[in-house]
A and B are shown apart, each in its own frame.
Chain A
Amino acid sequence: MTTMAERTHTTSDAPEAASGIQTLSLGKAINEGLRAAMRNDDKVMLMGEDIGPLGGVFRVTDGLQAEFGEQRVVDTPLAESGIVGTAIGLAMRGYRPVCEIQFDGFVFPAFNQITTQLAKIHNRTHGAVPMPVVIRIPYGGGIGGVEHHGESPESLFAHTAGLRVVSPSTPQDAYTMIQEAIASPDPVIYFEPKSRYWGKGAVDLDAPVGAETLNAAQVVRQGTDVTLVAYGPSVVTALKTAEALAEEGRSAEVLDLRAISPIDTGAVVASVRKTGRCVVIHEAPVFFGAGAEIAARVTEECFYALEAPVLRVGGFHTPYPVAKHEHEYLPSVDRVLDAVDRAFAH
């Protein structure tokens, strides 16, 4: 677990620094991370729909085909199972494919390849055939999208052994974690919080790339009374809630999980033992969601430290709603405050 004193989640007016630190949107930070990975290793290649001249529907691959050519930035046929299935074959040949799935709801045609093949080939071959494949998936709601454009299917992947499932919340993490995901010999499902693509923050382009951020949660705000656990797009919601709580005289600690496979149980437990209360926030439905797993683990490890049951704030057990209603479905500051109130009422 690491602690960083300051992280910027909102637009900064600071001019771009010269020393390798730039102010970038989260989407642009991923773009720079992809560029760095491709410059460092010519086996890294990108595959997806409309990622070439268009630069992807969110422009995350903007300019990369121009720099690296059509053999390394591949506009694929419109078939997601084909994207992932051929990426598996390319990995068998020694390549490191990074697949872009255009939207969360479109990953399901590839679900079979991801869960029955990609996740298991390393195990099936006793490590003889590693699967260094990254699946990038813009996920989550809040952008007024049509059906299949606002979902959060991360638990479906976390439930499959062999996959790593991560989601950055800041431009810096997005930049570092995409490079770590590409460097990983394991398949990584890299969920990009699409509602935060345009949020800017400082990115140190020379930041070291190890493996830590793929495994370790991070305390992004210290506090003493309640732990707010979040990842991806919900970290901003948690931080805003913590500010509101501070005005009420309550001190919230905010933990950015970064990964839900593996979950950094140690970081969650350490925080909850200190605060005695825990609220988990994610956009995915709470029913069988990551929050349920966290609640079970916290209850087992922190039973005598808990002042209240672990509570969850997230989506409902309904299809993702129409855009007109999505703001009632998504975890809001108000709903998190309500959960914190309930935790304090015990």
Chain B
Amino acid sequence: MTTTNGSNEAIPTLQLLDPEGRRVTTRGTKGYRDRAAALTTEDLRGMYRDMMLTRRFDDEATSLQRQGELALFAPARGQEAAQVGSAYALRPQDYVFPSYREHGVLHVRGLDPVDRLQFFRGSDHGGWNPTEHNTSVYTIVIGAHTLHATGYAMGVQRDNTPLDKHDGTAVITYFGDGATSQGDVNESMVYAAVNQAPVVFFLQNNQWAISEPTTRQTRTPLYKRGEAFGMPSLRVDGNDVLAVYAATQEALERARTGQGPSFIEAFTYRMGAHTTSDDPTRYRTTEQEEYWRRRDPIDRLGALLRAEHALDDDFEAEIKAAGDELGAKLRTGVRALDGGAPVSTFDDVYATPHGIVAAERAWYEAYDAGDPPAPQYAIADSAQGGAR
């Protein structure tokens, strides 16, 4: 059966929570259900809160872009369960290689929300120190970071040889359905598989690579790609936070225990535009959007919590207040981001002095100060490559 999203619903998909928020007890999923059952009510409330705040972040950032405060923004709306559920399965020492839409993951990792918008404001190419949260900065060349993830995992492997020295570090990388067509993504799976590197490939299949549907990327269900490279692969309902959490936790455990890489396809939907510059009405139908709106990941978890008497007006009000606080912080913090002095462009181009950069910097500083014109290509101190 082909659905409005062009995919076959008969493909085996792990689901622990149906679109109405009821727990599902399909045969063969007991291991995953046990993992989900280990989540306390407080854990589930935390997930709900973080998904709500991720959506609020989206709305605030989109508003800031409309006001001209951000150059661009890529909303994560609709993918909150895939992002928050997988991030909840991570440990602090695990290393995350995001693409550029993983706002929910970064939120759970504890990154400052203002820093997370530096890239989109145009005040920084990154925005945070990757070593502080074991979370790499966004990578814009699609799929390039998946190789970094595999390489990092190969390093973890070497640090942890023999395996009983293992500190339990695992690596996860996020990418989309469009990225699966990239050579780097395929090479990263080759390298991970032959090395049995401790990395989890987390695909968010949100159905759209800007304007191109998944049918422009593949003839086969994408989870089968991972299988073909020789790693355990699974498709999960990406709007079911419990299934995402359980599947990711299982994959991370395999990585931690020397059982190599895994592949997860979280089947989800990009409810918003690709970015604030995009216009989805040019390429997709309102029927499809409506189909997925009824599968909203936040509504689903909310229905479960209400059924289990874990969501009341007080908690909703508390989340609303936290969202208001987040919004205020973003509006103030983002406007204050100015990228520093233009001369900082010359900072950190190299770790050690480089004569050409040093000479151009010196020229720029003199020009900026209105000093008598200096030769643009002044000779640097050759032996040392010039002063910094």
A residues at B contact (CB < 8 Å)? 1-2, 45, 71, 76-77, 79, 81-82, 84-95, 109, 112-113, 116-117, 120, 122-130, 161-162, 164, 184-186, 211-212, 214-217, 261-267, 269, 297, 300-301
Contacts and interface: CB of A to CB of B under 8 A. Distances in A.
Contacts of A212: 383
B351 A122 contact: yes
A89 B150 contact: yes
A185 B151 CA distance: 18
A85 B379 contact: no
Contact of B184 (A81, A128, A300): A81
Most buried by B among A87, A161, A185, A269: A161
Contact of A92 (B125, B151, B349, B351): B151
Given A93-B151, A164-B354, A297-B377, 17 more contacts: A76-B191, A81-B183, A85-B188, A86-B150, A88-B148, A91-B151, A92-B136, A92-B151, A93-B154, A93-B155, A95-B155, A116-B144, A123-B349, A215-B383, A215-B385, A261-B354, A265-B382
A262 B354 contact: yes
A87 B147 CA distance: 9
Contacts of B364: none
B246 interface: no
A239 to B, nearest CB: 22
A117 B125 contact: no
Contacts of B136: 92
Nearest to B149: A89
B130 interface: yes
Contacts of B158: 45, 71, 95
B352 interface: yes
A113 B184 contact: yes
Contacts of A301: 375, 377, 379
A81 B382 contact: no
25 contacts: A77-B187, A77-B194, A81-B147, A82-B147, A85-B148, A86-B150, A86-B188, A88-B151, A89-B147, A89-B153, A95-B155, A112-B144, A113-B184, A124-B125, A127-B348, A164-B350, A184-B352, A186-B350, A211-B385, A215-B384, A261-B354, A262-B357, A262-B380, A264-B355, A265-B380
B380 A90 contact: no
B337 interface: no
Given A116-B141, A161-B357, A89 B351 contact: no
Contacts of A120: 125
A329 to B, nearest CB: 29
A89 B355 contact: no
Contacts of A161: 349, 357
Contacts of B355: 215, 262-266
Contacts of B194: 77
A195 to B, nearest CB: 28
Given A263-B356, A267-B382, A79 B151 contact: no
A24 B15 CA distance: 65
Nearest to A132: B351
Contacts of A117: 139, 141, 144, 148
A343 B156 CA distance: 58
B122 interface: no
B385 to A, nearest CB: 4
B41 interface: no
B352 A82 contact: no
Interface string B107-137: 0000000000000000001100111000011
Given A92-B152, A262-B354, A265-B379, A86 B147 contact: yes
Contacts of A265: 355, 359, 377, 379-380, 382
Interface string B155-179: 1101101000000000000000000
Contacts of B159: 93
B212 interface: no
A297 B382 CA distance: 14
Given A89-B154, A126-B129, A127-B348, A79 B380 contact: no
Nearest to B376: A300
Contacts of A186: 350-352, 354
A262 B386 contact: yes
B305 interface: no
B137 A216 contact: no
Nearest to B161: A71
Contacts of B311: none
A161 B125 CA distance: 15
A45 to B, nearest CB: 8
Contacts of B316: none
Most buried by B among A214, A264, A297: A264
A216 B382 CA distance: 6
Contacts of B130: 92, 125, 128-129
A112 B141 CA distance: 9
B381 interface: yes
Contacts of A211: 352, 385
A183 to B, nearest CB: 10
A88 B126 CA distance: 17
Contacts of A112: 141, 144, 184
B184 A90 contact: no
A85 B125 contact: no
Contacts of B156: 93
Nearest to B385: A215
A96 to B, nearest CB: 11
Nearest to A45: B158
B364 to A, nearest CB: 14
Contact of A82 (B155, B191, B357): B191
